[in-house]
Amino acid sequence: MLDVIVLIAMAVTAAAFAAGLVAHSGVALIPGVVAGAALYLVMAASYLMISRQTKATPVTTRLQELEEALEIIDGDLQRIDRVEDDVARLDLLTDRVERLDQTVSSIGTGDLGGVPSRDGKLSEAFEQVHARIEGLRAEPSPKPPYPARSGLYGLPTVVQNVETLAVVPWIARAPRERVTGASPGSGTKAVSVSGAVARPGVVEVALGTPLATVLREGAGGPLPGRRWKLALVGGPLGRVLPAERFDSPLSYEALAGMGHAGVVVLDKSVRIRDLAEHLFEFARAESCGSCAPCRIGTARLRDMPDRARLERLLDTLEMGSLCGFGQGVPRPLRDLLEHFGDELFA
């Protein structure tokens, strides 16, 4: 409707212009009308072109906006697809972690980043690593949750040594029945042997192999002219075996607390008191200091004048320490008391 009104106004303006032109110049009527009509057509054509352009501009802009919106929606859909893929992979990973958790628990291998440990101290070490990475104080925390459920930054976390990680692919691929059906004490163990032996190194042996066999066949026996006195099995928080008990089988069932099963062989030149002080010094240096029994108790060995006082100190460490580290400190000391008690206070 507006277009019609505008065109009529333009026609009247052109006719009036033509009439004025005729009256003023004395030009004949018909040429004047023709001139007015031509002027009208020019004005009408100009108006229509401008009108079309004006109407086309909003439509074009809208189409462009729609295209941009569709591109944004397409990008969002692609991101949603990627998130769904990530969720699926996370579900698969969580399932495998739980499977590994159950498997390790069932065969009694201990706290491998989240299940009860063979020696009671691995989980605390992992927590201290996590705390350091997060910029927090390295100290143990109450459980549950275990690190395999809530570890680094609150996410499921497994921290392990090379030996443990090396068997993870096999556990993930093997049928569940084959893994969980393994009898306790079956399989092999990589044993690091050092100290007074002819060939120090790492030996893979079947669990249950006598320690004497491991030392003689795997490590070449004693050094020439040296006589074995004892072996420390499982590190400073492990077990102490006198030479007369080297026929003991190397297994977690027969030798509870042997930990990583590393073996340090010591000869007759070693003083038992020096060894005990070394073990306590190690514990004192490694203690996080968050609980008094471990922090203070590991510095008190020199103040223990007799067996009764030392046993009370060991009881306090076992019962009062917050984590498996402090609770494990007495283990080798009790073995020294049992087998070398007289030497310890000589």
Which residues are CB-contacts of 315 (< 8 A; sequence separation ≥ 6)?
330
DSSP character for 197? B
Place of tokens 């004892």: 230
Evaluate whether 324 touches 121 at the Cβ level (below 8 Å).
yes
Terminal Cα-to-Cα distance of the chain (whole angstroms) = 121
pLDDT of residue 116: 37
The CA distances from residue 346 to 134, 280, 343, in Å, are 47, 18, 5
Place of tokens 């692609």: 78
The predicted-structure confidence for 98-123, as pLDDT tens digits, reads as follows 655 555 454 433 333 333 343 444 55
Place of tokens 């941009």: 68
For 309, the 3-state DSSP assignment is: helix
Which residues are CB-contacts of 207 (< 8 A; sequence separation ≥ 6)?
185, 186, 187, 188, 189, 249, 250, 251, 252
pLDDT of residue 170: 76
Enter the pTM of the model.
Answer: 0.56
Phi, psi of 122 (to 5 degrees): -65, -45
Evaluate whether 14 touches 36 at the Cβ level (below 8 Å).
yes
**CB count, 10 Å around CB of 12?**
11
Phi, psi of 321 (to 5 degrees): -70, 145
pLDDT of residue 201: 92
Low-confidence ranges of the chain (pLDDT < 50): 2, 21-22, 27-29, 56, 104, 106-121
pLDDT of residue 333: 92
Phi, psi of 189 (to 5 degrees): -145, 135
pLDDT of residue 230: 95
For 116, the 3-state DSSP assignment is: coil
Which residues are CB-contacts of 284 (< 8 A; sequence separation ≥ 6)?
298, 299
Burial 240-252 (b: 16+ CB within 10 A, else e): bbebebbebebbb
Dihedral through CA 332, CA 338, CA 342, CA 344, nearest 10?
A: 10
Half-sphere exposure of 263 (CA within 13 A, CB side): 34
- Does the domain at 185-261 match CATH 2.40.50.140? Answer given as no
pLDDT of residue 102: 57
Cα(324)–Cα(116) distance, rounded to whole angstroms? 11
pLDDT of residue 233: 94
Cα(322)–Cα(140) distance, rounded to whole angstroms? 8
pLDDT of residue 184: 64
Exposed/middle/buried for residue 75 (C-beta within 10 Å: 0-12, 13-18, 19+): exposed
Delimit the domains of the chain by residue range. 1-104, 122-180, 185-261, 271-346
Evaluate whether 179 touches 171 at the Cβ level (below 8 Å).
yes
Which residues are CB-contacts of 304 (< 8 A; sequence separation ≥ 6)?
310, 313
Look at strands 201-206 and 188-195 and give their pairing.
antiparallel
pLDDT of residue 211: 94
Amino acid 265 reads V
Overall fold of domain 271-346: de novo design (two linked rop proteins) (1.20.1440)
